[in-house]
Structure 1
Amino acid sequence: MATEDDTPAWRRFVFGDEDLPDPDYPLDHVPGGERKGLVSISAVLLGFVFFAGTLWAGAEVGAAMGFGPMLTAMAAGYAILGIYVATLCGIAAKAGLTTVLLARYSFGSWGAKFADLILGGTQVGWFGVTIPMVAIPTATFFGLDTPTFTAALILLWGVLHLATAYFGYEGMETLSLVAVPILVVVGLLSIYIAVQDVGGLSGLFGASSAGGMGFAAAVTIVVGTFISGGTQAPNWARFASSTRVGFWAGLIAFLVGNGFLFLSGAVGGSVYDVTPAGDLYEVLAAQGLAAVGLLALILNIWTTNDNAAYAFGVAGSEAFEFDRKRPFILTGGAIGIVLALVGADSLLIPWLSTLGQYVPPLGGVVIADFLLCWRMRVPKMADVRFASVRWTGVLAYVVGAAVAVLTAGQVVPGLAAPQVIPGPVGAALNGLVAAFIAHVAFYYLLEANGIVGGHDVASDAERL
């Protein structure tokens, strides 16, 4: 193999040092010596969940229910979301594997390729949809919102979002350790000013509601705000030093962190008439803090979008069984930037709907598989001869996705929910639960009884 001095610069840029393993282990278990503590994992996951869409959801639910009832629905919803993601994170920490590598256990070596497409392909689209969410406000802030300047900002922000993902977990950790404290302080400051402007807590709780939303509908909206993103959380939780650290990091990020953002949106949406409702930048601008709002928006989108780039990087590695993620990060990022330049941001709501229908059932199958089928006694990949297609997992996913599609806009099958927020309200949770139940049923009825085949595991396999 050529030495680094003999390797062309472009090749080192795309692949890194080929004499060394990829430090993020996209095709292998993360070894014990590379594991991280609770602060590191929590910071990366908190950066991931700090996304503007959660603010909008909080504002809409708060306006529809009133602030007091919204708090109850928020607590219930984030308890569900937090436990779901924390469980996935604990599984990932135990196995040291990305979501797509966990999917290899649940769906088979070829069945996992479909998971790569769902988990990686959708994130390429997400990357393109969200870049304009920071590029357009930046152009507006500087009074240069022309098509040419906006396009230049899309290119700039797209490259910056790729940069931290390009350097892997370490790059995202560094950004998150800077961004998360800033976002928390800005959020608390905005809440404090808003409460003062509305006349204190009595004014906040006394604000009238639009009505038309019940408790169950509100809970499903809360869960749906980031359940598809939560299914990707194992990509970073696999670096956790223990199952317990992975679980608590997931719970902190998706219960406390996401809940804080939802609450911030609800407070801002209750006090200020801005569009979109609860938008952190618009709220801070209304409070006379436009520059602070722009900084918060930049960090908000950046810490989410670099995670999206990382997700399609590791999915590409699994899909092509190539032990380098950088080529897929760069290729997927280039596609995402092109999508942003041609106006993909207009597809944000449809894209959220797609994610909510087709991603959570994957998480339902993985949790059912590792908890109730493998019973957390996970063999190393080297000790498993994976079936090409593990039909119990694939069929369970089909059932979950079908339920999600058929029950879009319903709290539970047959019970319609008000469309306060566009998109399928109950699809994510319904699909997740259906896939979980279906996989357990198919495994014990079909695979455990030898009716359909599964993986071959060496009799002396080492268990993680």
Structure 2
Amino acid sequence: MKKSTGFEIREEERQSWGSIAMVWIGSVICVPALMVGGMLGNGLSMGGLVLAILTGYALVCVFMCFMGMLGCDTGLPTAVMASSALGEKGAKYIISAVLAISCIGWFGIQAAVCGESFSSMLADMTGVMIPVWLSSIVWGVIMLLTACFRFAGLKWLNKIAVPLLGIVLAYTLIDTLAGGGMQVLSGYEPASPMSFVSAVSATVGSFVVAAAISGDYCRFAKSRADVVKSSIVGVVPAGLGILLIGAVLAICAGTYDISVVLSSSGLPLVGLIALILATWTTNVSNAYSGGLSLSVLLGQDEKKSQITTAIAGIVGTVLAAAGILNSIQGFLSLLSAIVPALIGTMIADYWILGKGKMEGFRMREGFYAPGIVSFLAGALVACVTGGTFASIPVLSFLNIPFFIGPVNGIVTAILVYIVPAGIRSRKN
């Protein structure tokens, strides 16, 4: 890498692996993860559930480690690192756009969910009804302000919020089991049996986008070993815990919604705190990564990332308040489904052809055809085999479920990239 991109971090900005792990824990613990756990709990025995979750997160951690170590080596965020595999214009106009739109959209959706739940629970507790649009704006702005402090904001938020979330989740689980949950679990039979592969696929899909953008956070790691430690410790225990809690709540309480469970047990305030913290820790990452990608898309550098993060958060918050995000959630899901293909393209470029050495990393000018074709091929395979097109009527004929959609896309991207890119490298 011969020229500065304006995104390289200084050595004194490197963080301990524990700080990065805390960010991952905060990202894993979220309401959608409880939903996934509830879905899996309705389809698998507890033993099969644990094995599926561990297998899924193990796959995610492998991808996270490769992407994170690349970020650690280069000191660059994902949207910039992609220049080596797709060319600077490919990274700017394709990858940055996809990541920015996806992160901003999901930021808005999470802010809207938080605002709606806050207004509803506050009305139940006090009788005071705050408009949902106002709650969405307030919480969107609070989350945005945290993200504007960049990694330092994420680090300190998660240091405070993660232990509190752990206490609330532990209480929720104990309260549910003590209220007759143990008897329900002991005689539990899955209502809608699910295959093991489908369960692993759902687990991978719930966090694989985080693996793709792990360079945004792991670039702060001090070594490759720290990337591995932070990824495993930050993802596997928290992921297993939150999905199991979602499953237990779905089986025993009939809902995966912590706020509902705690409200029914007489502790609505605790439920409200849990919901806000779970959304906050995840959504700050959406704003931060969305801001970085927007910086690349707009041709700015890291110095302007606070401004672009603010723009990303404001746009997401306005969309949340306007109440139009539900109509585009399918589009956002489609974008999220194609992101994992980037992992395969970048693994092939840096780890296979470049042999994992910095000498093999270079910022290619313009559009790099092998990388773009590889990414598009992987994205298509991931969508076709992962069920993405099942909910899109005009494309439902392309729904051909097979194995694990994101993994299929990653493997396809690797295979498609190494042949033409390898030939070009030998010619050069």
Same fold by TM-score, threshold 0.5 exceeded? Answer: yes
Instruction: Report Cα offsets for 1:401-430 as digits up to 9, x if no partner.
Output: 1112222329xx99647xxxxxxx943232
Q: Distance in 1 between matches of 2:19 and 2:8?
A: 18
Matching of residue 181 in structure 1 with residue 127 in structure 2: no
Q: Any idea what SS the aligned residue of 1:57 has?
A: helix
Shift of 1:256: 2.0
The Cα of 1:199 is off from its aligned counterpart by: 4.8
Pair 1:143–1:32, CA change in 2 (3 A):
same
Is the partner of 2:358 in helix, strand or coil? coil
The separation in 2 between residues aligned to 1:317 and 1:199, in whole angstroms, is: 49
2:108 is equivalent to residue 128 of structure 1:
yes
Matched, 1:36 2:15: yes
Match in the other structure for 2:280: 302
Is 1:164 matched up with 2:146? yes
Q: Which amino acid aligns with 1:100?
A: A
Partner amino acid for 1:39? Answer: G
8 Å CA contact 1:409, 1:426 repeated in 2: no
Please give the alpha-carbon distance, in whole angstroms, between the structure 1 residues aligned to 2:78 and 2:381.
22
Residues 294 and 361 of structure 1, relative CA distance in 2, 3 Å threshold: same
* Contact 1:392 1:447 (C-alpha < 8 Å) held by counterparts: no
Partner residue in 2 for 1:457: none
Q: Given that residues 42 and 249 in structure 1 are in contact (C-alpha distance below 8 angstroms), is that contact kept between their aligned partners in structure 2?
A: yes
- 1:447 is aligned to 424
For 2:160, what is the secondary structure of its paired residue? helix
Distance 1:157 1:228 in 2: 24
State the partner residue of 1:333.
313
Whole-angstrom CA distance in 2 between matches of 1:176 and 1:258:
15
- Following superposition, the deviation at residue 166 of structure 1 comes to 0.7
User: Is it true that 1:363 corresponds to 2:325 in the alignment?
Assistant: no
Residue in structure 2 matched with residue 224 of structure 1 by the alignment? 205
C-alpha separation in 1, matches of 2:426 and 2:356? 20
Equivalents in 2 of 1:55, 1:96: separation in Å?
33
Match of 1:15 in 2: none
CA distance in 2, matches of 1:141, 1:117: 36
Residue among 115, 119, 122 paired with 2:95: 115
Say yes or no: does 1:388 pair with 2:388.
Answer: no
Within a 5 Å distance, the mapping from 1:53-452 to structure 2 comes to 53-113=32-92, 114-143=94-123, 149-200=131-182, 203-274=184-255, 278-323=256-301, 324-347=304-327, 350=330, 353-379=333-359, 384=362, 386-409=364-387, 416=401, 426-444=404-422, 446-450=423-427
Higher normalized helix content (fraction of residues): 2
Q: CA deviation at 1:40?
A: 0.9
Q: Is the 8 A contact 1:272 1:286 kept in 2?
A: no
**How many angstroms apart in 2 are the aligned matches of 1:233 and 1:48?**
11
CA distance in 1, matches of 2:407, 2:99: 17
Q: CA deviation at 1:437?
A: 2.3
- For 2:314 and 2:360, locate their aligned partners in 1 and report how far apart those are by CA, in whole Å: 34
Mark the CA change 1:194 to 1:377 in structure 2 (over 3 Å): closer, same or farther.
Answer: same
For residues 286-330 of structure 1, the C-alpha deviation after alignment (integer angstroms, 9 at most, x for no partner) is 333221111011111111111111111111222233221022112
Contact (CA 8 Å) 1:356, 1:427: kept in 2 or not?
no
Change (3 A) 1:198 1:379: farther
Residue pair 2:387, 2:399 contacting (<8 A) in 1 also: no
Deviation string, structure 1 residues 347-395 (Cα, Å, up to 9, x no partner)? 58525631442111112211222211222212498xx562212222111
2:88 counterpart SS class: coil
Q: Is the 8 A contact 2:184 2:252 kept in 1?
A: no
Q: Paired residue for 2:391?
A: none
**How big is the alpha-carbon RMSD for the aligned residues of Structure 1 and Structure 2?**
2.5
The change in CA–CA distance for 1:347 and 1:244 in structure 2 (over 3 A counts) is farther
Taking the aligned partners of 1:351 and 1:184, their CA distance within structure 2 comes to 33
CA contact (8 A) 1:396 1:442 kept: no
Q: Is the CA contact 1:175–1:303 (under 8 Å) kept in the aligned structure 2? A: yes
Q: Does the Cα contact within 8 Å between 1:26 and 1:98 map onto a contact in 2? A: no
* Cα pair distance change 1:195/1:97, threshold 3 Å: same
Q: TM-score, normalized by length of structure 1?
A: 0.83
**Distance of 1:26 and 1:44 partners within structure 2:** 25
TM-score, normalised relative to structure 2:
0.89
Aligned residues: 411
Q: Which amino acid aligns with 1:294?
A: L
1:320–1:414: structure 2 CA closer, same or farther, 3 Å change rule? closer
Distance 1:165 1:362 in 2: 24
User: Structure 1 residues 348, 303: closer, same or farther in 2, change over 3 A?
Assistant: farther
Letter in 1 for 2:225: R
**Structure 2 partner of 1:10:** none
CA contact (8 A) 1:66 1:205 kept: no
Deviations 1:432-456 (A, max 9, x none): 2211222223322x32333xx7xxx
Measured after TM superposition, the shift of residue 175 of structure 1 is: 0.5
**C-alpha distance in 2 between matches for 1:392 and 1:147:** 55
Amino acid at match of 2:16: G
Distance 1:108 1:147, change over 3 A: farther
Distance 2:335 2:261 in 1: 27
Distance 1:46 1:416 in 2: 30
The structure-2 alpha-carbon separation of the partners of 1:427 and 1:147, relative to structure 1 and needing over 3 Å to count, comes to farther
In structure 2, the CA distance between the partners of 1:99 and 1:398, relative to structure 1 (3 Å rule), is same
Q: Secondary structure at the match of 1:64?
A: coil
| Alignment partners' CA distance in 2, 1:351 and 1:192 | 38
Amino acid at match of 2:148: Y
Residue-by-residue CA offset, 1:187-219 (whole Å, 9 max, x unaligned):
12212222222353x642421211331111111
**Structure 2 CA distance for aligned equivalents of residues 46 and 308 of structure 1:** 14
Give the whole-Å Cα distance in 2 for the aligned partners of 1:397 and 1:99.
14
